[in-house]
Amino acid sequence: MVSIISLWLPILVSAVFVFIASAVIHMVLGYHASDMQKLPEEDKIMEFLRRYNIPPGDYSMPRASSMKEMGTPGFIEKMKKGPVAMMTFVKSGPPSMNKELALWFVYCLVVGIFAAYIAGRAVGPGAHQYLEVFRFAGCTAFVGYTLAQWQETIWYKRNVMTTLKSTFDGLIYALLTAGTFGWLWPV
């Protein structure tokens, strides 16, 4: 058994590698550029919604107040007539990703901590443990970076292609995490 404390270096270094890889994926490779589509007549829709000063949060329309209401003729008619939407409103203002980038790095550290915990319990110290460490840390990191995204596709109708691309990203992040843990595993 290897303690999480003794794995601080692979936790930190793997978080840095994943952070850099995600920057390259999103800023250089650009295959996520098509994840969100532009609404037709965006300016008119924005002007219309601006009147309501909608606070940040997650919304759906139409929205039933209960499961029972979902089966009523009135609600079914609203669903048929449309539009049907699930949307997230965020605070207005100039674009800044400082907070999101900081939270993403913390998230990478948290995934690394879980990978350290699982690998540390499954594999002991030793110079010849690379593949075992790689397997446990990589699998744990893959779960941490990808599986919950599929709930968004299942329940909130997120585009399957977007989720597949994010799952591919998660595989890259998991391989980086696994390789880092294998490389820096204590002897």
Query: Could you tell me where the beta strands, DSSP code E, fall in 50-180?
Result: 57-61, 85-89
Q: Say if residue 186 is preceded by a cis peptide, omega within 30 of 0.
A: no
List all residues 6 or more positions away from 27 whose beta carbon is below 8 Å from its beta carbon: none
What pLDDT does residue 187 have?
Answer: 85
| pLDDT tens digits for range 8-17 | 999 999 999 9
Contact predicate 112/177, CB 8 Å = yes
- For residues 159 and 106, give the distance between their C-alpha atoms in angstroms, rounded to a whole number: 26
What pLDDT does residue 95 have?
Answer: 85
| pLDDT tens digits for range 122-131 | 998 886 889 9
- Residue 154: how many other CB atoms lie within 10 Å: 11
pTM of the complete model: 0.88
Q: Which amino acid is it at 17?
A: F
